[in-house]
Chain A
């Protein structure tokens, strides 16, 4: 898949939280959801998802439970906890501020300086 952007370090957590915030998902589902909401523009190495997921569970922002997938396979489903929702809010704000600032900086014209 060409034209896919490498993830910036630390942004995978944010993407996972966002994906899960739309409803409980299993790991593969999260991957698909990220592809869907980002317009397939981001490259996420499949296996790399799991250490991230487990870390978030340990931090108490996600909780996991076993369930059955749409095509009848046993899978672990993740959903946000209260702490997770708060974290998503804060991280989103942070990201927007950062993106705006970087954008502004890159758009600056010579005469404005």
Chain B
């Protein structure tokens, strides 16, 4: 049929539907009349003739409907009709509707969120133009660190890339003229912006031509976000001279809003040429070939060059480097990977994690569809009589099925819409979320885009059809005569069906998740009150790096002493100490040590690999770390006195055999320096709460100076007031020193990030599991009640009590619930062994957890069977038996 005719028929139907209906009616009636006329002429009475004519005509309503449909163009109309009808039907059973919509909303929402994250991180990360051809170099599947001389060789000798750029990270003090603050930056090679095709949003960016050797390019380029939030879009900033670590740098320009470097979740404040490395991040020397400190080297492949060809090209350079610099280079081999998640280093676990989540979300959706399917089957069974009547009156099966489908699609659309809305809110929240207080530059750009919306819509529609299809067989098999005659009943199956097993599995999984999330939650709560070798309470931590304010050499310890003295004068401060790092905040140094007798100081002869903290006198008292024996440090433990250390119990056991004979004993550092142990500190947790005991040594900061400075301040004053006082005190000492102040608990965020995420993830999955179990049990209970309505009626008529009625109606559902919950509880308790690696003190031997799980599962059961139970109890045997 041609399009014009089709459109005309649709338009006719849309705009003249009542006229068409009248027309059809009139035409068919005319037919009957004409036939009656003929019959009358053959000698019948008029009334008899008309009766005969109607009989001869056949199913009048059916032919009318079919004729109407034959006119075409009624797709929209029947859909609207069905939709109106469905809305009416659904509104009559709000419990069912809400359960179905919520189930679907959660399942679709879960899928949309996971897909949104996957889309933003893996499928279409939008962080640089032409991301398809951008690759980062990595060593095997490990990290991609390079040294600067190696980078120069790679850049100049390869034939595969349109330029290679180097990029690394640093924290520096940035003083724009008003208040100095610490900012994260990218140090990059001069060609960085050209290699990545980034044009400035404002002013200009730097180029290779700006580099003329070390410290020759004192330029900074701001990111749009920093310019926007810290400089309030001040266009006059270009050309201004600012201080980076107290060195003058000129602001060249601002990068475009969408650009924030090559690492997806990292948002630097500004960019600085890597040739000025010494001023920005004193530490590693630019020209040392053997130390690989540059985070990554990235570049676009030339058109027509495959990753394999480029890898071969790079490996040729690697072989050249090994031959030319045998002292510095081992086997240098390269692979290519996407820089967005730092190649395979983070990319592989993230991809695996997301793929696992996606699979899980898909399974949840499938299970939700199965449950909704059985809910729909229960409804179709309930409406068996209505369906049969409609069939008997000449409605086509197709039309009835279309009605059922419309219901399913309506529910899926509403559920999908709600789920999508929730997921958009969640994704927006995730995008704005900065998980770490002290690392504000880390967040996850997972804003949803069109593909997320369309996937959610598609999934919703697909699942609507999936669960809508379940009752189809039932309707197709309906024999109107049988049903109308006998009522809808049929044998009640006693054997265990696949559906039962599926339900038990769902309940069991739900119980596992509920159990483990409760165990995790309890562990998490406990971990805030544990003993980790220091006192968490009443402690403030102020962190900075003195190099950010231009301190070096002897000025560093002098300034540290002044800082300590100053904070101790703050009213309410009971003790203060400082260290280069403090345990359980994510930063630390470690070093191998040797026994005093070892003379051959090869790494393989080391006796232990110990964590190393450089601390001031007073640190132990401020931190609340107990000294088991010996003494702490004094200000006399300086460069001119013998090297000393306080070690923890684990160190003493590993290096000296026991804690008792360690005090007074000696051990050797990596460089052979002899160090005498003067005290033993209690063991603690250092890197994570679930770690095995680490050996740790504390060294006097005067003997091993460090510009990294963490003040630990013990006071029972209100943290907010105290923080203000500390900031003011330090500001008086040096207004140009950026300091980060937080409570010891806040610093715990990093340590608790994993356990918290695990707990939240388990909680969310537990919620999903609970939702699945509820709809599953609800569907099965509703089905069994509606199937056995007559039996229940008879039982009530024969005098059955409420208890017996409920047992008959819901016994099976509760049996399944009990079996599933028991299995899940046992499995969940077993699974906590795995959980114990992530969450501190996750133990299943916890009566609160056991009681909690049982309670939750019972509540689930009650919630899910509430409506069917009400229905079973409210059966009126008289009405029922009369009806049947």
Which residues in B have their C-beta under 8 angstroms from that of A60?
1-2, 5
B572 CB-CB contact with A under 8 Å: no
Interface of A is mostly: mixed
CA distance A26 to B35 in the complex (A): 12
Which residues in A have their C-beta under 8 angstroms from that of B60?
47
Which residues in B have their C-beta under 8 angstroms from that of A69?
30, 34
Q: How many residues of B contact A (CB 8 A)?
A: 30
Interface of B is mostly: helix
A58-B5 contact given A26-B34, A51-B63, A75-B27, CB 8 Å threshold: yes
CA distance A55 to B69 in the complex (A): 9
Q: Are A47 and B57 in contact (CB under 8 A)?
A: yes
Residue from B30, B57, B72 within 8 A of A26 (CB atoms): B30
Q: Are A28 and B34 in contact (CB under 8 A)?
A: yes
Q: Are B58 and A48 in contact (CB under 8 A)?
A: yes
Which residues in B have their C-beta under 8 angstroms from that of A54?
24, 67-68, 70-71
Within the complex, the shortest CB–CB distance from A34 to chain B, in Å, comes to: 14
Q: Are B33 and A47 in contact (CB under 8 A)?
A: no
A27 CB-CB contact with B under 8 Å: yes
User: Interface digits, A74-93 against B, CB 8 Å rule (1 contact, 0 not)?
Assistant: 11100000000000000000
CA distance A58 to B68 in the complex (A): 11
B734 CB-CB contact with A under 8 Å: no
B37 CB-CB contact with A under 8 Å: yes
Residue from B30, B67, B69 within 8 A of A75 (CB atoms): B30
Within the complex, the shortest CB–CB distance from B180 to chain A, in Å, comes to: 80
Q: Are B30 and A58 in contact (CB under 8 A)?
A: no
A96 CB-CB contact with B under 8 Å: no
Q: Which of B65-111 contact A (CB under 8 A)?
A: 66-72
A47-B62 contact given A58-B1, A75-B27, CB 8 Å threshold: yes
User: Interface digits, A60-81 against B, CB 8 Å rule (1 contact, 0 not)?
Assistant: 1000000001010111100000
Residue from B34, B63, B68 within 8 A of A47 (CB atoms): B63
Residue from B5, B34, B63 within 8 A of A50 (CB atoms): B63
A52 CB-CB contact with B under 8 Å: yes
CA distance A108 to B247 in the complex (A): 108
Which residues in B have their C-beta under 8 angstroms from that of A28?
30-31, 34-35
CA distance A73 to B28 in the complex (A): 12
A59 CB-CB contact with B under 8 Å: yes
CA distance A54 to B21 in the complex (A): 12
Q: Are B9 and A58 in contact (CB under 8 A)?
A: yes
A46 CB-CB contact with B under 8 Å: yes
A3 CB-CB contact with B under 8 Å: no
Q: Are A75 and B34 in contact (CB under 8 A)?
A: yes
CA distance A55 to B9 in the complex (A): 11
CA distance A38 to B35 in the complex (A): 19
Within the complex, the shortest CB–CB distance from A27 to chain B, in Å, comes to: 5
User: Interface digits, A29-60 against B, CB 8 Å rule (1 contact, 0 not)?
Assistant: 10000000000000001111011111101111
B590 CB-CB contact with A under 8 Å: no
Q: Are A58 and B72 in contact (CB under 8 A)?
A: yes
- Known contacts A50-B27, A71-B37; 4 additional CB pairs below 8 A are A45-B58, A48-B63, A55-B70, A76-B30
Query: Chain B: residues with CB nearer than 8 A to chain A?
Result: 1-2, 5, 9, 23-24, 26-28, 30-31, 33-35, 37, 56-60, 62-64, 66-72
Pick 16 A–B contacts, CB within 8 A, sort by A. A27-B31, A28-B35, A50-B63, A50-B66, A51-B63, A51-B67, A53-B67, A55-B70, A58-B1, A58-B71, A59-B1, A71-B37, A73-B33, A73-B34, A74-B30, A75-B27
